[in-house]
Amino acid sequence: MQQVSRGTRRWTRREYERLVETGFFRPGEPIELIGGELRVAEPQGEPHAVAAGVAADALRAAFGPGWIVREEKPIALDDESEPEPDLAVVPGTHRDYLGGHPARPVLVVEVAETSLASDRDDKGSLYARGRIADYWIVNLVDRTLEVYREPVPDGSAPFGWRYGSVEVVRPPANVSPLAAPGTQCEPQDVAGLGPRRPRRASRSLRRQSRRSTTPAHARGFLRQAARKIGARPGSAASRGVTSRTARRATGRFGV
């Protein structure tokens, strides 16, 4: 039998954009072009979505007028890459990019949970190759903010580049974006990365857990049976409605 060699079809950014224009992908499909490969982005759970929204608000406040914070929008990084980071800060207004996606954001932010290793290694190397000077990872696993700077060549990195400076910022420390040195961003302000709080059950759930496991309609049937035999509510006779009546209730209501 003839052996069939298998390979990976690599795409250029121009080819990828033609696929998008022709409607090849379903609306909202989380696809990114990373180093010539089509990759599926991390699905967003509640913590991811909340962290990205909080970070966007904080960066808009930090940068002010003359800058826009793009959320999950493409950046034209190079000829074979068009990632869609959670956040990218670029100068100007939205209309300035009608003719093409921005290529050099002053800050890129990824919110990472299950994608943490990929955001550190693959995307970190990709953004370093694209000369992104300021790259932040909101680390939801360790509840820290990772700041990557100073791109340098490295033949062992996935895309031949890496960041020479890596800083892990924890509350109450803060960090200033390179493009907005007069501002200070704290991790809890950037993405709500405060200490974890234990989740308590709501009052209604706690009350429900203390109730009998007998369904409400069966409990009502048993109370009617107790009244028929003249038992006072809460009395021993009421609590111990004849086993025959109880069996009727449980059999009738499937409990």
What is the model's pLDDT at position 178? Answer: 97
Residue 251, φ and ψ in degrees, nearest 5: -70, -35
d(CA 185, CA 62): 8
What is the model's pLDDT at position 190? Answer: 76
What is the model's pLDDT at position 28? Answer: 82
**Domains defined for the chain, CATH in brackets:** 43-191 (3.90.1570.10), 203-253 (no CATH)
Neighbours of 85 (CB within 10 A): 27
What is the model's pLDDT at position 5? Answer: 57
Residue 207 φ/ψ region, left for φ over 0, alpha for ψ in the -120 to 50 degree band, beta for the rest? alpha
The secondary element (H helix, E strand) that includes residue 188 is helix 187-191
- Cα 61 to Cα 161, 180, 191, distances in angstroms: 31, 11, 13
Buried b (16+ CB within 10 A) or exposed e, 172-195: eeebebebbeebebbbbbbbbbee
Per-residue pLDDT of the chain in tens (255 residues, 90 and over written 9): 566 556 778 999 999 999 999 999 888 888 999 999 999 987 888 999 999 999 999 999 999 999 999 999 999 999 999 999 999 999 999 999 999 999 999 999 999 999 999 999 999 999 999 999 999 999 999 999 999 999 999 999 999 999 999 999 998 888 999 999 989 888 877 776 655 544 444 444 444 444 444 444 444 544 554 454 455 555 544 444 444 444 444 444 444
Predicted model pTM: 0.73
Q: Which residue has the tokens 């180093």?
A: 35
- Cα 233 to Cα 209, 211, 237, 245, 247, distances in angstroms: 22, 16, 9, 16, 20
Residue 222's closest CA among 254, 253, 246, 255? 246
What is the model's pLDDT at position 203? Answer: 47
- Cα 251 to Cα 202, 224, 243, 248, 254, distances in angstroms: 32, 16, 12, 5, 5
